[in-house]
A and B are shown apart, each in its own frame.
Chain A
């Protein structure tokens, strides 16, 4: 099964991370750092597989990665997946992104995180491959886009979401924080002689 999918750029800035097993956030960050460290120091024409780092599951796991221009796509999988198959899956994923965004680039991933997640969700579900047929995936995504357009245009939903966040009932933060009279007494130091 696929344990995690990570996308980061040449400088190790994470652009997308999806973990298919529950890992707390600190560890997630560490895993991304560790993976970047492992992957980035490898030459261009070495093989695309390497033994997983220590954090994510140990020696049963493999990292399978591909490097496209400024981005690394890393899939962390266990021994039940075919390595070359995953390599193909990365290719399918990238090609799909390319179709959906028309010449995908790093910025698309930053500004359309939701879409990228949706595309990924069409391909991989709960760590297993759901669909590999590119046309099928694109059809699904298009259908979703159509639905979106039919409903109050593109801007509607985000706007409502933003207003929802604004109206959230956050606990009142006291505006003026009164520190009060705090006088710190400095003990008298004996003077040096």
Chain B
């Protein structure tokens, strides 16, 4: 209260003490605010610059909403009034900024905005600095209104940069002309894209060049302040160059400049250089230039004494990594990991895992890397990382044997990390048979090795190992007795942990009751996981917090698909619950193992198929039926159609010009379908080119049952359309009619042909007749991932020819379409353009219509 009285005093000292008291001690929601506001209002109106200054300071330090309400209209007037003193203008600008930050809705935009922009031309540099801060913030929110500020800022900047350092009043700081203002102006320009007006643009480029040139001049002073100020401007100029990302010349110069700083004596400069380079690496123009500094950066990682600088070095390595230098970078990061600070280990682990996966040319290398990772920093390897290894091993046939061998060897170390035991248990359980031929890793040896680790592990790992054991029972009948003994032992059957006990009991029963056939089905290899975005990336993002890496990450993320939206691997418990079968109880139990997001071998889903009488239901739930047809172009099995009543599944096989398709009709309700009649409809054109033969099915389909229909297919000649499957039936008195396109397409009669590069190009040239070639350029509908693309081309039916095209990013395929009358050779070439997210697909075949059709079909796939 007394303080408020002091405010209204006419004496400067008293007023000042009052204001000081308020700005230090009063928080924004004090009851006194009203009284304070009154006093401030008087001072603002007083026209005494000192008093006005005090009042503005007070508003800026309290900055509450009530104050904003009271003064938001007032301050802009003070700011643009012609007769306001410079120092007051300065304060007013920042004060307004503060109010805008607390309550942007209360600050009215109006005619003052254009006049604020003109403050950039003010004589007094202090005013310009303050105004620039204000405009930068405002421009971020309303870029349109402040667009005119760009050209003004550029001209101001060029005046500062090119001026001799004497004519800038006292704003020359250690021989650097107005460093603060330059930095602010450069920041302001970063709110906008490169200026369109060529004159302005030229002037800006000139400025940036001058700044870069100045960096090369010998310092005018030995003082650290001089270089600091100079470099502050330089770094800001570099970030502007990176932001504009349009002048390759400047980008490369910036990169070289940063390269020099990487070896600078000043730690601060090294830190900032690493950081700026990180953003520079993501620009396509300078990526190569950044890569030339790899040795220096690696050196920094090894020798730098400051952990924050090392952290930046890791970030930069991650950003500059691509296919060409991945092995080197990953190896360096791994070796650094052994000595790394504990605080950044987990992040490095994640980064290594991501890089190893993304740039793995050779998956054996990937497996080695990850196992090394677990060995070196097992504690920091999160669950996501080892889930991912397993997903990849399962999805790729070619590394399974190698992975099994490597984990087996790794497990032989006397002390190994629990994560390694997990990976080992899982992989041996799935693929142990691939190395069982070697007497050194015979089934019994494998089992004993795993079991020797069993007692040292935590409960989840033990549970996983039990699943491995039961898988062994299937893979190696010779160790069945040993494993049954283990399962039967009291420590398992009467384990205090319910989960372990349950698994032991169930697996023991399963191994004694079930026949080998059933075992084989139940304990089949896990089906491949649907490709989806790596959960590791999500984890890294979460760790880094929003804003810092996301931009970079998005650019790097090729294996797109929404992180959370990706389909989960076969929803075992769901299907078990919905099937009313006598084994439901057992299933309920079987499916309970707490499948932790990833891939532990819960056998529940498969048990359904064993005990219920039908043996199909291949894929997980199907999404909307329109795009289903397209999905079948590159694969033969899956769910074609599904609604609340009916599910249609397909399994098909093709050889030369013949094929056979099994159609499964599943009644999803508990009521019978009556008059169930599926018909195959071929248009007249199609009929002459494609022969379909089938037998009628039973007209009643019981609730929950499934009927099967076999279609024999013969391709007489090449064809364009697809046959339609029409199904009519009665369900509870209402008539149902469903039509779907049956995915019998021309490419199903493909036979892959391997050929060498020379042959390929020779044939390619032979088919150079314009009618024989069909080309399509289209936008990528799916994320452009090399592995997926390869899989699709192989699924399409043609052979994928490696090392044929001089550009390794392109895909080349060859094959022969078989029909009863002719055989048609086909060559295809797919050129992805990652930047534009486009593909160019070229097909050359000896027949125009075939080229046309194949091109249409394949274009839909990417």
- A interface, CB within 8 angstroms of B: 1, 20, 22, 24, 42-43, 45-51, 58-60, 79-80, 82-85, 87-89, 91-92, 114, 117-118, 121, 125-136, 140, 143-144, 147-148, 151-152, 156-158, 160-161, 164-165, 167-168
Contacts and interface: CB of A to CB of B under 8 A. Distances in A.
A84 B6 contact: no
Contacts of B179: 85, 88
18 contacts: A22-B63, A43-B305, A45-B267, A79-B547, A83-B272, A84-B235, A85-B232, A87-B232, A89-B180, A91-B225, A117-B24, A121-B61, A125-B98, A126-B60, A126-B97, A132-B129, A151-B11, A161-B14
B545 A88 contact: no
Contacts of A129: 129, 133, 180
B365 interface: no
Given A58-B545, A118-B20, A148-B12, A22 B28 contact: yes
A165 B1 CA distance: 10
B309 A47 contact: yes
Given A82-B232, A130-B130, A144-B16, A22 B183 contact: no
Given A58-B545, A60-B547, A85-B232, A127 B98 contact: yes
Contacts of B180: 85, 88-89, 129, 132
A152 B13 contact: yes
Contacts of B560: none
Contacts of B271: 47, 49
B40 to A, nearest CB: 14
Contacts of A160: 14
A135 B631 CA distance: 73
B113 to A, nearest CB: 18
A20 B133 CA distance: 16
Given A91-B225, A114-B17, A136 B268 contact: no
A126 B306 CA distance: 33
B126 A133 contact: yes
Contacts of B50: 143-144, 147
A114 to B, nearest CB: 5
B270 interface: yes
A46 B268 CA distance: 8
B76 to A, nearest CB: 16
Contacts of B13: 147-148, 151-152, 156-157
A48 B268 contact: yes
Given A59-B544, A84-B228, A126 B129 contact: no
A45 B173 CA distance: 24
Nearest to A117: B20
B87 A84 contact: no
B240 to A, nearest CB: 12
Interface string B286-312: 000000000000000000011011000
Nearest to A79: B547
Given A85-B183, A88-B229, A114-B17, A59 B126 contact: no
Contacts of A82: 183, 187, 232, 235-236
B20 A151 contact: no
B548 interface: yes
Given A82-B235, A130-B90, A132-B171, A121 B57 contact: yes
A60 B548 contact: yes
Contacts of B125: 133
B232 A128 contact: no
A46 B56 CA distance: 39
Nearest 10 Cβ contacts at the A-B interface: A126-B98, A126-B60, A84-B232, A157-B13, A46-B306, A47-B267, A164-B2, A59-B545, A147-B12, A125-B94
B65 to A, nearest CB: 11
A114 B21 CA distance: 9
A114 B17 CA distance: 8
B169 interface: yes
Contacts of B548: 59-60
B144 interface: no
A96 B489 CA distance: 80
A149 B27 CA distance: 31
B786 interface: no
Interface in B190-243: 225, 228-229, 231-232, 235-236
Nearest to B169: A133
Contacts, number: 174
Nearest to A150: B12
A125 B60 contact: yes
Contacts of A121: 23, 57, 61
Contacts of B183: 82, 85
Contacts of B308: 46-47, 49-51
Given A85-B180, A144-B12, A161-B14, 4 more contacts: A46-B308, A47-B268, A58-B545, A117-B23
A108 to B, nearest CB: 17
B473 to A, nearest CB: 50
B587 to A, nearest CB: 46
A134 B267 contact: no
A118 B12 CA distance: 13
B5 interface: yes
B95 A126 contact: yes
Nearest to B27: A22
Given A43-B305, A84-B272, A87-B228, A157 B126 contact: no
Interface core residue of A88, A147, A158 (most chain B CB under 10 Å): A88
B235 A134 contact: no
B17 A161 contact: yes
Contacts of A92: 173
A148 B16 CA distance: 9
Contacts of A131: 87, 90, 126, 129
Contact of A161 (B6, B56, B187, B232): B6
Nearest to A22: B28
A173 B111 CA distance: 57
B125 to A, nearest CB: 7
A87 B126 CA distance: 19
A12 to B, nearest CB: 21
Nearest to A165: B2
B397 interface: no
A98 to B, nearest CB: 14
A92 B176 CA distance: 14
A49 to B, nearest CB: 6
A127 B60 CA distance: 9
Contacts of B232: 82-85, 87-88
B91 interface: yes
A49 B274 CA distance: 13
B170 interface: yes
Contact of B12 (A60, A84, A135, A151): A151
Contacts of A164: 2, 5-6
A50 B311 CA distance: 10
Interface string B81-101: 000000100110011011001
Contacts of A157: 11, 13-14, 16-17
Interface string B155-176: 0000000000000011101000
Nearest to B10: A151
Nearest to B96: A126
A44 to B, nearest CB: 10
Interface in B237-267: 267
Contacts of B136: 80
A187 B704 CA distance: 74
Contacts of B20: 114, 117-118
Nearest to B547: A60
Interface in B114-152: 125-126, 129-130, 133, 136
Interface core residue of A42, A45, A161 (most chain B CB under 10 Å): A161
B197 to A, nearest CB: 26
Contacts of B305: 43, 45-46
Contacts of B16: 114, 118, 144, 148, 157
B27 A87 contact: no
A49 B268 CA distance: 7
Contacts of A148: 12-13, 16
